[in-house]
Chains A and B, each alone.
Chain A
């Protein structure tokens, strides 16, 4: 039983990071129709940067917050490259984000090397139903829930959040009322950078990340985003948590190397199921 609880909590923590990365995909896709494949790289950047800042004796919380802000700014830069030129089709922007992701990998190797990095996190363990659980993993879940609540409030209560929602809902009408839809796209990229950076900062103390972690992180996040139909942050959270738990249970009871395959398989099943439901709706 305690083994199951450990896998469950570990899965929830990892799934939280998928949910954060996935919500970054969702935020960008809703506004720009672009799938930002540099999203996993931003999580890796977050891990590396926070490790360096904390090693440079910046206190906890401050180091993590600076990291998240920097990742947000880098996210805006990714946006400038991907959608900066007016009229760039979403498919071209997607290819650009793939290129940026490769560039990130090269830059991360150049700056931090190839070894996995794990910044210090919250020390100690807590006992839940007889299982020893790292406090850091519980922190990941709490921060993720707070982040999603904040995201929800941002979109529903703030003027900027409503403008972002409007840009996603009806870009023509948004332009008509004077909203600069391209600028909103850059705001969305910035927000996705913040979410990606936050995922990296939170997950790396428990799961060391290296330059090649970007693909599994991006795949996990994208699978969660697909579960949310690339439009719903809340369903992305559910998808991310489900994916994380499924992956950890697979790793614990079967084989750790199957984790990515589980993510891909789930993504494929969800996509097939969704395409059938879309076809059913169209038939109606």
Chain B
């Protein structure tokens, strides 16, 4: 449902993405991993239409919504208003669907988004993206700055969402163990290019990938990957 072909994105004269091609199928969960500055966020911002490609193409069969890095709340507005604005593009004001998927949000609907914890804000960001009823959810750094227990809870929500609704997920994630655990397939980016794409199980066992991009990660060998 997502077809990226020979994508080039530039910031002025600097090339951020250099001929990236990637496919994401309907209902598939794909992780985008790689070192800092590899172009992961640039790719996700281009997929969601926030950046214009210099050349190449991004074709989405359906709708895409982004959960941005840093959550990007409307801090002085209530959780309810943050969610309602998530449905702006399709004028969706039905909050019940999101409350069914993320019941915790209902209890905090009147609270100001800026006063929530990082984990709660991330849940609001996911709920806000879901208000656009996306076929593809593009998530930029799910775990950034969050406690492991909170990340596990959010990951569970994503799995449920994917299973119940068939929403495809493109996940940018620094935590490689989390990314491989959650997504059956992964794509490794470095310096704006795709280095390798394949099943997470194979990439997790690849010494070359581990050493080149994730350092000496002994824990990766034991990680339970999604298959």
Contacts and interface: CB of A to CB of B under 8 A. Distances in A.
Nearest to B67: A176
A163 B88 contact: yes
Contacts of A172: 50, 68, 72
Contacts of B84: 159, 162
A175 to B, nearest CB: 6
B50 A170 contact: no
A169 B72 contact: no
B50 A177 contact: no
A177 B77 contact: no
A175 B74 CA distance: 12
B117 interface: no
A165 interface: yes
Interface residues of A, number: 15
Interface in B47-83: 48, 50, 65-66, 68, 72-77, 81
A162 B85 contact: yes
Contacts, number: 52
Nearest to A178: B89
A165 B74 CA distance: 9
A176 B77 contact: no
Contact of B81 (A162, A170, A174, A179): A162
Given A162-B84, A163-B85, A166-B85, A176 B74 contact: no
Interface of B: 48, 50, 65-66, 68, 72-77, 81, 84-86, 88-89, 91, 93, 128, 132
Interface of A: 159, 162-163, 165-166, 169-170, 172-179
Closest 9 CB pairs of A and B: A178-B89, A173-B72, A169-B74, A166-B74, A178-B88, A177-B88, A166-B85, A177-B86, A177-B85
9 contacts: A159-B84, A162-B77, A162-B81, A163-B85, A165-B76, A169-B76, A170-B73, A172-B68, A174-B74
